[in-house]
Structure 1
């Protein structure tokens, strides 16, 4: 391996024009493919083999067009102190909002009238409109979201407290600003470390090229492979990290070889032959970990893992070929100005640098360093003891958001479990569904059970179960287990 990488490094250094041209051409080709490809949609989320997925599949077959996995929104209304939502003036505001929501977008599947379905709290101060959409939250258009927000804003003018919750307000995560800040911070650290803008710029440049190729390729294939609009996020994050890291290995080793007095081509070959072995090993380790996401059998995660793994492979290839090619262009500027003026290698009598002093300290006090390290890692890991696994809901949103305020209003008015209703799908006739609903009512942790809603054929029904506790509580988890064991 080392001999092969050594020869590869020297070849890339000698044929730097060809190597550079190939990588630039590949970047341009990927960019053209991304620009001409259809826009990526939200990737379908499914977990094959689970009871929840079986329920969704059954709903899709027996309730066509119902949009069981579509986005939902709840427009929550709260009357001022001393007033009730059943007053004619407040009821008129809600009725107007219902009409506007029904005609506000062609993506709306249904809008419930809260007074028709008795969705008013016992004290009469809170009510809500349930809006169901034909598509999931990622596929909602901006116009649909704006229509929802405008309806809420108009209702507030009637003197009511109006908040909107649900995944209909969920948007595609924006990328760009965080990555830019990360690149800037990395650049500052590299400049301080290397003392040379050129040496610091090489890892950044090659990392950006690698991420550009990887993300552009993902964008170009997103529609064909159903990669979704969020797949590139993981690839970009990991691609930038490993791209800078792997290039840093090669550049650092190249500088060390030059300091030993070797010529530039030989230094490039030795850098790739030695540090390149670490790059290959580290890259394969990350690739195996990412491809291992396929084990959980969630198609969306599998696609994200494979896409990110492809970006890591590109970063490895760039470090082994593009970096030595670019080193052939920069010449002695890979060293800082001070090192170029005084190229004499440091003698043993010179004061050791910080890294050498730290290594010697660790070797003198290995047990102390080990103990401090273990204790420190344990302290950092303490929050993991109270870690709650699961998908976040509106209750985890900041209190400044409308989603969180709507969540709190519903909890206060209807109970904490109202924000996480459970859906039970009965594969049977109306009589079987009614028996199932009666059985569910006797379970611990159930606050309410709605009557079974059959489909047109009468062979499938939906039952909605409202837990007593909040969606993320252990009591609700136990209720879900009881429902699956009972039904």
Structure 2
């Protein structure tokens, strides 16, 4: 592979104009196709086979909705002090304002607080329901503005008026704060590569890659059901790896220039060596993301494929476009200052430049114990982690939907946001009504139940719906226990009362999804860990190096989930990270973090340890190889880690809680893995293992293919070519 990339680097540099024009043309064509086909993100989050999903399918047959899922907005109202919604003046004011909303052509109907009987016990809080003719995602800004103006008018009159619902609130998949991460990345790149011009180059290629990838995802929305929040994951990954991959090749290119290679030769070598590591690392990330399909969650599979697509385009843009731009810029990208060899002063300077390497190799046991103890302590909260879905109650109090959520909780209790729907199937006989009443009375006696609404029977007369209001919110353990209790009682009820019951509704579905994901996590981790071991064994021709890498990944993963639990669930440092309420950890987060962090961890492992192996094959000195790896690749890995943290930090500053949590987990996951595991624990363990780190049975070495990620074949070919040129020159001089 390295020889192929070496030749590709030469070709791209030679045909730089064609490569650049072709890349921009592809991006423009993809954009034209994407915009012409339109954006059709789906928000389907169902999982086939769940108990709640099966019940939901039966319910939809009995209670079909011919118009599909249309948008709704709730206008939640709270009367001024010493007033109620029941007064004549209040009814007249509210009625007048709701007529303005009803006049909107997009509005199908408006149900007042008096018609939907939503007034609370003291008539101080109620809500109007606005039903639209289109799905919530398709409600226009003009229609939203109409409702906002009505709410503002009521506020001016002294009322509290807030808005909530899918007809008004749409998940923000991007935020201006993401640009801050890019700016931080530019500063880091400029420092690492020695100039702003060189620092802009990785961001430019990453932008091209992510732009092309996102256009392909948008095209895919017309063919597949892809959730809108897949763009957040794809955007984070595409931007971060795109910058890092370009950085690795540019850094190696500058090293080759410093060693005296001609510019185009240096480009080709960088593409053949660092480019090989980029391809391997990128393929590892792609495999991990595609591994989401093993979980059995369709929309998580779609998220993984979307993320893998942007990583794939990042790889292509890196190995094709970076060499072309390097050749185009010519001498504007300078080699780092080359240290002279042989003098005592410069040897001392080299040692001073590798202070971290000398510390870790000088005190390897201290480094390993310190790193393991630190990450182990941070990981402790992981053992009481609870997962679930976020809601509007976790948003900033500055948001109207958060204030509406709190008003509804104040009026009707937390259970209002997590009702359970019981689907009862009867035989329709003479005793069916009596048996159903008996079931309802029994459900009323269950713990945590505060209300059971009268049954609504479907057209067949055999399938009633019963709505149960718990006392606790949708993510609370008491609500989860209630769902399990009803299901545990179902066989007994069916036997005694001849009524078959099932629990569904958004709360029950989310509980089942969370349980499904938690059950799938260990299996997914085993797949990822097994994959890591096999891939690293192929790359490094070692048994102990992959074991060390896997254990390091597990440590960084545990610390990441532990830290997220400590902040999000336990409520620490919430002001620092702008979280506004304690919440369960987003139920998809552990699997997403496993897949993404695995890929990124392998990036750093490959770039750091491959240089160690390269040096060990030359010198046979294990300690010297560790020092060389840190000296040559440590700075690049550090810069790459800082860039990842900077990019993900931009997402931590976003307003959408789901995006914030994902950004927080990935930012600190990279921080722990790049700086504690790869730069502290890995060199320490490699030093302690010595030459045994590179032990590999000869029979196994013969059986397995050699991937040559270090580019040994390329360097041998280059040195052979240089030697031939040198000999030819001598012959001509002698002649």
Query: Deviation of residue 256 (structure 1)?
Result: 0.7
SS at match of 1:472: coil
Q: How far off is 1:98 after superposition?
A: 5.2
| Counterparts of 1:386 and 1:97, CA distance in 2 | 48
| 2:362 matched residue in structure 1 | 364
SS of match in other structure, 1:225:
coil
1:61 aligns with 2:61: yes
Contact 1:105–1:147 under 8 Å retained in 2: no
Flag as ranges the 4+ runs of structure 1 deviating above 6 A.
none
Residues 1:134 and 1:318: Cα distance change in structure 2 (over 3 Å): same
**2: CA distance, partners of 1:56 / 1:99:** 35
Q: Which residue of 1 aligns with 2:332?
A: 333
CA offset at residue 286 of structure 1? Answer: 0.8
Answering whether residue 17 of structure 2 is matched by residue 17 of structure 1, we say: yes
Normalised TM-score (structure 2): 0.60
Distance of 2:353 and 2:23 partners within structure 1: 35
Displacement after TM superposition at 1:435 (Å):
4.8
Q: CA deviation at 1:401?
A: 2.4
Say yes or no: does 1:440 pair with 2:434.
Answer: no
Alpha-carbon distance in 1 for matches of 2:73, 2:27: 42
- Contact 1:85 / 1:91 at 8 angstroms: preserved in 2? yes
Equivalent in the alignment of 2:474: 471
Number of the residue aligned with 1:149: 148
Q: What whole-Å deviation, never above 9, does each CA across 1:67-89 have from its counterpart, x for those lacking one? A: 78555433322233333332222
Deviations 1:185-205 (A, max 9, x none): 111111111112332222111
Indicate conservation of the 8 Å contact 1:67/1:133, yes or no.
no
| Contact in 1 for aligned 2:449/2:470 (Cα 8 Å) | yes
Q: Deviations over 1:355-387 (max 9, x none)?
A: 622112111122222233233334544564564
Q: Is the 8 A contact 2:173 2:229 kept in 1?
A: no
In the TM superposition, 1:186-225 aligns within 5 A as 186-225=185-224
From the superposition, tell whether residues 286 and 194 of structure 1 become closer, same or farther in structure 2 (CA, over 3 Å): same
Distance, in Å, in 1 between the alignment partners of 2:4 and 2:263 is 18
- Point out the more displaced range, 65-74 or 323-332: 65-74
Shift of 1:264: 2.0
* 1:453 is aligned to 2:474: no
Alignment partner, residue 399 of structure 1:
397
1:270 Cα deviation after fit: 1.9
Report the Cα distance in structure 2 between the residues aligned to 1:354 and 1:138, rounded to whole angstroms: 59
**Structure 1 residues 257, 287: closer, same or farther in 2, change over 3 A?**
same
Q: Compared with structure 1, are the counterparts of its residues 48 and 167 closer, same or farther at alpha carbon in structure 2 (3 Å cutoff)?
A: same
CA distance in 2, matches of 1:2, 1:155: 68
Give the SS at the match of 1:163.
strand
CA distance in 2, matches of 1:484, 1:92: 46
- Cα distance in structure 1, aligned partners of 2:479 and 2:273: 55
Q: Shift in Å at residue 318 of structure 1?
A: 2.0
Deviations 1:75-119 (A, max 9, x none): 3222333333322222333444555555545354x6544334543
Q: Please give the per-residue CA displacement for 1:319-348, whole angstroms capped at 9, x wherever unaligned.
A: 222212222222232216xx5xxx655335
CA separation of 1:197 and 1:121: change in aligned 2, threshold 3 A: closer
The 1:413/1:232 distance shift into structure 2, 3 A limit, reads closer
Q: Which moved more, 1:257-266 or 1:294-303?
A: 294-303
Report what 2:268 is aligned to: 269
Task: Kindly state the Cα deviation for residue 243 of structure 1 after the two structures are TM-superposed.
Answer: 0.5
Equivalent position to 2:341, from 344, 347, 363: 347
CA 397–67 in structure 1, closer or farther in 2 if over 3 Å, else same: farther
CA displacement at 1:249 relative to structure 2: 0.9
Q: Distance in 2 between matches of 1:387 and 1:355?
A: 42
How far apart, CA to CA, are the structure 2 residues paired with 1:355 and 1:105? 70
Q: Deviations over 1:256-293 (max 9, x none)?
A: 11111112232222212221222122111110121122
Alignment of 1:43-122 (within 5 A): 43-65=43-65, 70-96=70-96, 99-104=99-104, 106=106, 108=108, 111-122=110-121
8 Å contact kept, 2:101–2:107: no
- Gaps of at least 5 residues in structure 2 are 491-500, 502-735
Cα deviations by residue, 1:10-60 (Å, 9 ceiling, x for unpaired): 333333333333322222221222232223344433222223333443343
Pair 1:304 & 2:307 matched: no
The match for 2:634 is none
CA contact (8 A) 1:198 1:330 kept: no
1:318 aligns with 2:317: yes
- For structure 1, the 5+ residue unaligned runs are none
TM-score normalised by structure 1 residue count: 0.88
Where in structure 2 are the equivalents of 1:379-390 lying within 5 Å? 379-381=377-379, 384=382, 387-390=385-388
